[in-house]
């Protein structure tokens, strides 16, 4: 955490520095000898807090705060002075100082104050992350089609990167859901270790059911912190790998806008099938995928393979058999173009995703036959599955109806019914023709219209009652859905109600 100590007396700065570092050794302290230096430092580093003396050469501390605050809106200002003057205290309130302390300040007071500052800074970061996550949900789920970068508080220096998490497993849905929980719990519980004032983080589900972690950074420090977070996930996927469960990460290139980020994620997801030959339980970049895509034989092999696996999990016997035969044909005819390493990587992927036997160099024919035999088992599994798909989707719709006013997500519902988000997302879209988040948003907007027709309900109240903590985000979604702002809709509804009695006369 960055803190500025602004005082024209060197001994005063040194005394405060000693107290702060003795209590909190990890703080990054910066000193300003006058008001102008304070302004320059604040504009450069955007500190979490600043201890400011009132009387300094040139600009006073209060004048410096007033000039510096617009460039660093989240900085917490502490007035530290030897003057118990009511007019100064009144000015401190005007510039939104959080404390007005008289010198000399005690160690206990400093400790309590820094703890308060840290808690407030964490709340500010959490708030920024929640708003950013709302924007990312709307972006990836197509809830807002025309993005105005000014409305999203987008800064010219902002950059984006993301990490998509793919899960491959042959476990039944309930077991797959239970086995994946430790990974996502660890990932979620350690996220706060990488919070930074120049980094906004969002973790959410894509419409296809895969998790994605998105970072928006405005400095090299923010970018470095995001890279550390991604690296921690790489280490984690290697630790949690099981014979029948693996997570593979795909990391994007740097993007400079919301539309370019959406395009990048779309491209990455389209090429994610290439992980078959690259290797599971690892992290790959967009360049790694492009390199494999440039190899037509390997690309075709992977494409056919991933289609076979998808059809297997859908219990489509005929489609699985057709695709697996196509895969075997490509493998046999292009055998000289396929390295031993690639063959082993593909075999490992199949073993994890559909429990196929591991390939050895001496029994390719037996391996091919085992892939065909797996198809025969689909008929029995499909028979047992009859009637379960509509029931799960029906229960999901009922759950949405009963919980749309709260923090509702595909991940929460999937966990409730002991299935993976990917599985539920696929079933829901197939049955309803829309994505989970689009369905939830449409329901919330219809309920919001009903609420806004009531003169006693304010826009903020309507937003909260249909499940949105941010009125800004609610307003953007409502405008996309209804074609006007909530306040306009409310006003027009009241005008219409007033006109109806006149029309009846």
Render pLDDT for 357-391 as a digit per residue (tens, 0 to 9).
Answer: 998 776 888 999 999 999 887 776 655 554 444 58
- Fold exhibited by the domain 126-294: Alpha-Beta Plaits (3.30.70)
How many Å apart are CA 270 and CA 264, to the nearest integer? 10
Per DSSP, 99 falls in state E
Q: Tokens 């990490």 appear where?
A: 163
Q: What is the pTM of this model?
A: 0.84
Residue limits of CATH 3.40.50.2300 in the chain:
2-105
Model confidence pLDDT, tens digit, residues 107-143:
888 888 889 988 988 898 999 999 999 999 999 999 9
Per DSSP, 252 falls in state P
Question: 2-105 maps to which CATH number?
Answer: 3.40.50.2300
Residue limits of CATH 3.30.70.1130 in the chain:
126-294
Question: Residue 381's closest CA among 357, 359, 355?
Answer: 355
- What pLDDT, on a 0 to 100 scale, did the predictor assign at position 197? 87
Residue limits of CATH 1.10.10.60 in the chain:
391-504
Question: Residue 151's closest CA among 173, 167, 134, 168?
Answer: 134
Model confidence pLDDT, tens digit, residues 54-92:
888 888 888 888 898 888 888 998 888 776 665 666 676
CA dihedral 278, 280, 283, 284 (to 10 degrees): 30
The CATH class of 391-504 is mainly alpha
Per DSSP, 356 falls in state P
For residue 4, the Cα-to-chain-centroid distance in whole angstroms is 31
Which tokens sit at 73? Answer: 């809106």
How many Å apart are CA 367 and CA 76, to the nearest integer? 65
């Amino acid at each position: 955490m960055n803190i500025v100590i602004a005082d024209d007396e060197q001994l005063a700065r040194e005394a405060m520095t000693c107290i702060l570092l003795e209590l909190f050794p990890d703080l990054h302290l910066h000193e300003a000898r006058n008001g102008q230096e304070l302004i320059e430092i604040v504009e450069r580093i955007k500190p979490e807090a600043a201890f400011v003396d009132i009387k300094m050469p040139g600009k006073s501390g209060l004048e410096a705060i007033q000039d510096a605050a617009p460039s660093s809106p989240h900085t917490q200002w502490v007035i530290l002075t030897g003057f118990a003057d009511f007019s100064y205290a009144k000015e401190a309130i005007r510039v939104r100082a959080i404390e007005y302390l008289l010198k000399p300040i005690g160690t206990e007071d400093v400790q309590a104050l820094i703890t308060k500052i840290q808690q407030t800074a964490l709340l500010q970061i959490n708030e920024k992350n929640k708003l950013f996550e709302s924007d990312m949900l709307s972006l990836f789920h197509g809830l807002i089609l025309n993005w105005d970068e000014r409305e999203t508080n987008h800064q010219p220096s902002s950059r984006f990167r993301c990490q998509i998490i793919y899960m491959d497993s042959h476990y039944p849905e309930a077991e797959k859901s239970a086995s994946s929980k430790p990974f996502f719990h660890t990932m979620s519980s350690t996220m706060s270790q990488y919070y930074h004032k120049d980094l906004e983080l969002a973790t959410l589900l894509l419409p296809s059911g895969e998790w994605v972690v998105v970072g928006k950074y405005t400095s090299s420090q923010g970018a470095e912190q995001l890279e550390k977070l991604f690296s921690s996930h790489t280490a984690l996927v290697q630790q949690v790998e099981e014979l029948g469960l693996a997570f593979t990460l795909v990391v994007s290139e740097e993007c400079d806008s919301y539309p370019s980020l959406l395009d990048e994620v779309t491209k990455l997801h389209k090429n994610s099938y290439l992980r078959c030959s690259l290797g599971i339980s690892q992290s790959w970049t967009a360049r790694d995928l492009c390199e494999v895509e440039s190899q037509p034989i390997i690309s075709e092999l992977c494409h056919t393979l991933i289609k076979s696996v998808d059809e297997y999990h859908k219990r489509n016997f005929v489609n699985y058999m057709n695709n697996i035969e196509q895969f075997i044909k490509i493998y046999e005819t292009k055998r000289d173009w396929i390295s031993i390493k690639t063959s082993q990587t593909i075999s490992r992927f199949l073993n994890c995703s559909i429990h196929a036997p591991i390939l050895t160099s001496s029994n390719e024919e037996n391996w091919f036959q085992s892939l065909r035999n797996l198809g025969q088992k689909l008929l029995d599994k499909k028979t047992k599955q009859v009637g379960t798909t509509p029931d799960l989707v029906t229960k999901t719709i009922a759950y949405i109806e009963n919980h749309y006013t709260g923090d509702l997500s595909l991940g929460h519902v999937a966990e409730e019914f002991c299935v993976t988000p990917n599985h539920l997302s696929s079933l829901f879209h197939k049955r309803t023709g829309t994505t989970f988040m689009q369905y939830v948003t449409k329901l919330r907007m219809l309920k919001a219209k009903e609420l806004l027709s009531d003169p006693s309900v304010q826009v903020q109240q309507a937003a909260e009652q249909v499940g949105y903590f941010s009125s800004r985000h609610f307003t953007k979604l409502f405008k996309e859905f209804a074609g006007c702002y909530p306040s306009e809709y409310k006003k027009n509804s009241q005008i219409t109600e007033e006109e109806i009695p006149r029309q009846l006369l």
